[in-house]
Amino acid sequence: MKKLIMILCIAFVNVFVAMASPAAINFDNLPDDSKLSQLLVDFGNAYPAIKNPDLQNKDKKTSQLKSAKNLYNYLKKKKKANYDEKLFQLLAARCLYNFDQLKASEVTKLFTDIDSAYPEKAEHHWIYGNYLTSACKTIEGNNELEKYMEMKDYYISEAFIQDYAYCQFMCNTPFNAYYTLTNGGSIPEENVKDQELLRIVKNQIKESSSKEKYDANTVWHISDLEDGWHYVYSTMLGISFPCKPKWNLQLNEFSESSPAICLLGPNDFSIDGHSVGISVLIMAYPESIYTSKEKDRLMAKLKITKSEKQEICGKTFTKYTIEDPASYADIRNGQMGYLYEATINPGKLSTVKCEHPTDLASKAGKSSENKSEGNQTFYAIKPSQNRIQEPMRIFILVDSCNALKDETDQLLEEMFSKAVFD
């Protein structure tokens, strides 16, 4: 019997070789259980066909789903299943969920039970992260995979790298996925193991030119909520800037005759019960279309009282202080504001730093780009634009008033601490 068990386990390992989630499981920790071994072999043969949702072909996968259900039920009834057996139960649960054989709440409860029993272990975060990604809960999946990395102190396998890159791609952050697959560019593309994933990621990246015209939705993107902030970001420009959910926001197109513009309107301030807004205008000119006349026209409209240098996210800006007592000469106590200027060279990781993950589940049903086929809805992920490979002249114009000077300075300090210009 011992020899039979060994043969079955070796067969099972071979079935799962080079696959993602099963690499999280330590086969040496599986018990000598002939029944379990046979169930694992059956599940191993079925796994490639059911690891991803495919409801249109559900009827063709009856035997594969039966293998997953048999394994899941066997381990569910087992009174003293160890950690790695629980991982297989979670893996089978994910497959059953893919075909509506198990509720999401049941998968989550199983994960929660494992996490409570084995808080020091990391591997269940990998499997659960994959499950969340396949369920289009991409940000949650990304968080679980990052938790796995942190718990493993970043000593991670190649199989995990592929899973993590796939999750990043599904989060609509292809530059981060490319960075992961190539280890920040240190691995030549031809040496990347998952060439198909690399090809898909590269197809999602489009080159940008200062000589072309792009609409606002191509230039700018708005992230999901992150710690109370949205981020208006542009991989094309190398910019990421925070924005509160209820602020006024205007974004414009970009062409060789006009800069890219983002106008933010923080509107959560008041003076003596009167609502008062602040405006933050960001303008980005590729160096090839910028002329000093642009700055001259801007400066001519402003009452500049002094200039100094200020570091913003590691870049040196010139900061001009604006003061005009004749403007806003009411409860606002005169105009006050700033103009920031800098020339930003394209960094090696500009696009990686600027990207923000998207939860595809939150986009389903909300985007005009959704397509429905049968009972399934598909969200079309937009291509991402590469950084324009030339210096970018950045202007940030802040318009406020003396009555809100302290609030303005505090707001800018927080916003700049979260911004990226690269």
% pLDDT > 90, the chain: 75
201 and 315 co-located in one domain: no
Instruction: Kindly list the strands in the beta sheet with 335-344, ordered across the sheet, starting from the edge strand earlier in the chain.
Output: 248-251, 260-265, 279-286, 392-401, 335-344, 315-324, 304-312
Say whether both 229 and 365 belong to one domain: yes
Share of the chain above pLDDT 70, in %: 90
Give yes or no for a contact between 50 and 20, defined as CB atoms under 8 angstroms apart. no
Token pair of 52 as six digits: 């991803």
* Domain shared by 272 and 178, yes or no: no
Whether residue 210 lies inside any domain: the answer is no
Distance in Å from the first CA to the final CA of the chain: 63
74 and 141 in a single domain? The answer is yes
Q: Looking at the structure, tell me whether residues 178 and 118 fall in a common domain.
A: yes
Report the predicted TM-score, pTM, of the whole model to 2 decimal places. Answer: 0.86
Same domain, 253 and 388: yes
24/82 same-domain check: yes
The CATH number that applies at residue 59 is 1.25.40
Q: How confident is the model at residue 369 (pLDDT cuts 50, 70, 90)?
A: very low
pLDDT of residue 273: 86
Give the residue ranges of DSSP H helices in 152-286: 158-170, 174-181, 195-203, 216-219
- Count of the separate structural domains present in the chain: 2
Q: Say yes or no to pLDDT of 300 above 70.
A: yes
Structural domain includes residue 77? yes
- DSSP 3-state of 206: strand
Q: How sure is the predictor about 363, in pLDDT bands with cuts at 50, 70 and 90?
A: low
Which among 157, 174, 205 is the end of a domain? 205
- Whether residue 261 is contained in a domain is answered as yes
Angle at 229 between CA 204 and CA 173, to 5 degrees: 15
Please indicate, yes or no, whether residues 302 and 192 belong to a single structural domain of this protein: no
Q: What average pLDDT is seen over the chain?
A: 89
Residue 327: HSE in the Cβ half-sphere, 13 Å Cα cutoff: 13
At residue 12, does pLDDT exceed 80? no
pLDDT digits (tens, 9 = 90+) for 224-280: 999 999 999 999 999 999 999 999 999 999 998 899 999 999 988 989 888 998 999
Assess if residue 211 is contained within a domain: no
Is pLDDT larger for residue 366 or for residue 394? 394
Same domain? For 254 and 171 the reply is no
Q: Are residues 317 and 262 in the same domain?
A: yes
Q: Let me know if residue 335 belongs to a domain.
A: yes
What is the bridge-based pairing of β-strands 274-276 and 384-385? unpaired
Domain that holds residue 313: 216-421
Would residue 146 count as lying in a domain?
A: yes
Q: Which of 205, 230, 259 is the last residue of a domain?
A: 205
Domain contains 312: yes
List Cβ neighbours of 136 (8 Å cut-off, separation of 6 or more): 170, 359, 360, 361, 364, 379
pLDDT at 140: 95
Residue 223 within any structural domain of the chain = yes
Same domain, 391 and 285: yes
Domain's final residue, options 181, 205, 229: 205
Q: What is the pLDDT of residue 22?
A: 73
**Judgement on whether residues 125 and 256 belong to the same structural domain of the protein:** no
